[in-house]
Amino acid sequence: MRVAILSSIAWRTPPRNYGPWEQVASYLAEGLVAKGVDVTLFATADSITDGKLDATCTVPYAEDPNVDPKVVECLHISNLMEKADQFDLIHNHFDFLPLTYSRLINTPMLTTIHGFSSDKIKEVYRKYNQNTHYVSISNADRDADLDYAATVYNGIDDTAFPYISVPDDYLLFFGRIHPDKGASEAIQIARESGRKLLIAGLIQDEGYFKREIEPHIDLKTVFYCGNVGPEKRSTLLGMAYAMLHPISFEEPFGLSVAESMLCGTPVIAFNRGSMPELIQHGKTGFLVNSVSEAVEAVELVMQINRKDCADWAQSMFSKDKMVEGYLAVYESILRR
């Protein structure tokens, strides 16, 4: 089986720090290679893979302000599409734009929908619904007008997130610094529960960070750790008493939630989007609807068995399970 994995080029695959789409594409590519699949990864030139690498973009455009994203994206996608007949299947992790090539090539295309950035882009997905294949990353993130081959949860590498049975006493916010993710609410929760809060993640909204977050960073009760890489990420997640995830949008998945539980750390999340699929309420964390409910949940974290968190995440969100899920979808598509 010859498979082309089309990754994003905003960041390296795998990412040095932030880059969930690139991380999933990397886990999948390497998992498929380990299974003996002939994989070509279309990603930035500095990407790392045990498969074949094909690149037109020298550096990730999010790391170089001199790079025009539209230009490099067009060159990146067209590079694969002009080689489409070299593959049995194209697996698109690049959102909706590659779909516009799908009727111009004979190779079947599978698109993992990593969420909808707006309702406007759904028009593209609907147009190509009949001649391509879609996978959702949670049942919550499905559009009623689209047909799906399966739901395949994002997988994570259990060797990168070792289980920690005895944590520290801090709360952790781990995610993009953006109003959707709720860093401000996490500060309120930590303050009202009387615990330290560590914040880690990419500052995506500079104004929000300056207004709502930075004034509270006192290096006594609230700390900002930066946009941390893989090694520090596992330690921050694993040593946390609990992770706070007070989102204000319908999140399609949430890699950090699964990573946290894999380390043994319970997650307190606002009950939106895919959170009920990721978290077992009362067993691996708590699903709440407000800051006050989250504060109450912090007091209940001691009732959670951290090993239950790790076992649940391993059983549901492992890299191997994701690879097997996609292989089943590939075989179903190719049988047609």
Q: Under a CB-based contact definition with an 8 Å cutoff, are residues 47 and 9 in contact?
A: no
Which tokens belong to 332? 């179903």
91 and 200 assigned to the same domain: no
Q: What is the pLDDT of residues 240-277, one digit of tens each?
A: 999 999 999 999 999 999 999 999 999 999 999 999 99
pLDDT at 194: 97
* 8 lies in the same domain as 134: yes
Beta bridge partners of 316: none
pLDDT digits (tens, 9 = 90+) for 124-154: 999 999 999 999 999 999 999 999 999 999 9
Same domain flag for 172 and 126 = no
Q: Are residues 115 and 251 in the same domain?
A: no
Q: What is the CATH number of the domain that holds 46?
A: 3.40.50.2000
Where do the DSSP E strands lie in 16-98?
A: 38-42, 52-54, 89-92
Return the pLDDT at 18. Answer: 86
> Is residue 109 located within the same domain as residue 247?
no
| Sheet strand arrangement including 38-42 | 52-54, 38-42, 2-6, 89-92, 109-113, 133-136, 150-151
Cα separation of 168 and 240, whole Å?
6
Dist. CA 336–CA 333, nearest whole Å? 5
Residue among 96, 86, 74, 89 nearest 9 (CA): 74
Q: Report the sign of the C-alpha dihedral through residues 247, 251, 254, 257, in that order.
A: positive
pLDDT, residue 139, reads 97
- Quote the pLDDT of residue 2: 98
**Which stretches of the chain drop beneath a pLDDT of 50?**
none
CA-closest candidate to residue 51, choices 60, 42, 59:
42
What does the pLDDT read at residue 231?
80
Domain check: are 191 and 280 in the same one? yes
User: Is the CA virtual torsion 98, 94, 26, 258 positive or negative?
Assistant: negative
83 and 204 together in one domain: no
> Domain span at residue 47?
2-153+318-335
pTM score, two decimals? 0.93
Domain count, the chain: 2
The answer on 213 and 298 residing in a single domain is yes
3-state secondary structure of 82: coil
Q: Are residues 128 and 7 in the same domain?
A: yes
Does 13 share its domain with 60?
yes
Same domain, 286 and 257: yes
The radius of gyration of the chain from alpha carbons, rounded to an integer in Å, stands at 20
Residues 134 and 31 in one domain: yes
Q: Are 240 and 283 in contact (CB under 8 A)?
A: no
Q: What percent of the chain has pLDDT over 70?
A: 100
Query: Reduced to 3 states, what is the DSSP secondary structure of residue 327?
Result: helix
pLDDT value of position 148: 98
